[in-house]
């Protein structure tokens, strides 16, 4: 039997007047849309995220509106206090594990993005602290996330905050099926 890893929380971010973290509302839809599409565009060379659908912006508006209205998840924005301009985003929801494995439920962190000029200033750590608190309030004791394999800086930041690789997602495109001959 493997010994359990000790729980490791993200250290509390220092108070920083350069940004504040608040829960996103439906009034923030345009900001959420812009930040989450910027995240996808930043990974244009990735084999999964680089295949942005031509209708992604219009599809995203409906999807993100519904996510902001959902009681089962939360989106946090990091904003500049002087003008409320967004500098980062993080979405968190309750995930369900396999009935054969513990934990049965966990916090799932997704769609994390910090604008380039606000990186390395504690924005991601502050957003993660909110996701951690939200998850703890729901009795969850683990956070999970996916990180793009081509994002070395992001992976290093997640590792510095206590995350460890648990699995790898492998992708293999399939050739189109040959046309069948009619008899």
**pTM of the model as a whole:** 0.85
Question: What is the model's pLDDT at position 11?
Answer: 56
Q: Rounded to an integer, what distance in angstroms lies between the CA atom of residue 70 and that of residue 49?
A: 24
Is the Cα torsion angle 49, 53, 56, 60 positive or negative in sign? negative
Q: Rounded to an integer, what distance in angstroms lies between the CA atom of residue 167 and that of residue 172?
A: 16
**pLDDT tens-digit series, residues 11-63:** 555 555 689 999 999 999 999 999 999 999 999 999 888 899 999 999 999 99
CATH label, 20-160, candidates 3.40.50.300, 3.50.50.60, 3.40.630.30, 3.20.20.20: 3.40.630.30
Phi, psi of 108 (to 5 degrees): -115, 120
Using pLDDT thresholds of 50, 70 and 90, give the confidence band for residue 180: confident
* Residue 14, Cβ density class (10 Å: 0-12 exposed, 13-18 middle, ≥19 buried): exposed
Using pLDDT thresholds of 50, 70 and 90, give the confidence band for residue 1: very low
**SS3 assignment for the chain:** CCCCCCCCCCCCCCCCCCCEEEECCHHHHHHHHHHHHHHHHHCCCCCCCCCCCCCHHHHHHHHHHHHHHCCCEEEEEEECCCCCCEEEEEEEEEEECCCCCCCCEEEEEEEEEECHHHCCCCHHHHHHHHHHHHHHHCCCCCEEECCCCCCHHHHHHHHHCCCCCCCCCCCCCCCCCCCCCCC
Going by C-alpha positions, the residue among 181, 86, 89 that lies closest to residue 130 is 89
Residue boundaries of the structural domains of the chain: 20-160
Mean pLDDT of the chain: 90
Q: Are 67 and 75 in contact (CB under 8 A)?
A: yes
């Amino acid at each position: 039997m493997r010994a359990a890893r000790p729980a490791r929380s993200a250290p509390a971010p220092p108070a920083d007047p350069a940004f504040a973290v608040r829960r996103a509302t439906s009034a923030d839809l345009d900001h959420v849309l812009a930040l989450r599409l910027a995240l996808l565009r930043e990974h244009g060379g990735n084999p999964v995220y680089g295949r942005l659908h031509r209708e992604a912006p219009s599809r995203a508006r409906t999807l993100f509106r519904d996510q902001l209205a959902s009681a089962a998840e939360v989106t946090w924005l990091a904003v500049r206090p002087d003008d409320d301009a967004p500098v980062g985003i993080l979405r968190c929801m309750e995930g369900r594990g396999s009935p054969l494995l513990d934990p049965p439920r966990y916090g799932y962190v997704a769609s994390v993005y910090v604008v380039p000029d606000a990186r390395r200033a504690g924005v991601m750590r502050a957003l993660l602290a909110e996701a951690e608190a939200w998850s703890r309030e729901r009795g969850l004791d683990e956070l999970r996330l996916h990180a793009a394999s081509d994002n070395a800086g992001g992976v290093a930041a997640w590792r510095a905050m206590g995350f460890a690789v648990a699995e790898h997602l492998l992708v293999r495109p399939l050739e189109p099926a040959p046309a069948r001959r009619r008899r």
